Amino acid sequence: FFLDLDIAAPKVTIPTAFFPEDYQATKLLLDLGHFTLCSQ
């Protein structure tokens, strides 16, 4: 079993129920930078 996973810039968007301007919902964006996973 061999796995080589190289993702340049994974981004995860999480919708929230926070309305700072009372009209538009905000979203939380997670930028994981550079993710590398290797197994042998």
What confidence tens digit (pLDDT) does each residue in 1-40 have? 677 777 676 677 777 666 666 666 666 777 777 767 777 6
Tell me the chain's radius of gyration from C-alpha atoms: 16
Query: Cβ neighbours of residue 36 under 8 Å, at least 6 residues apart?
Result: 5, 6, 7
Residue whose C-alpha is closest to residue 17's, from 8, 25, 9: 25
**pTM metric for this prediction:** 0.32
**pLDDT recorded at residue 26:** 65
Amino acid found at 26: T
**pLDDT recorded at residue 24:** 63
**pLDDT recorded at residue 23:** 63
Residue 38: beta bridge partners?
Answer: 4
Amino acid found at 28: L
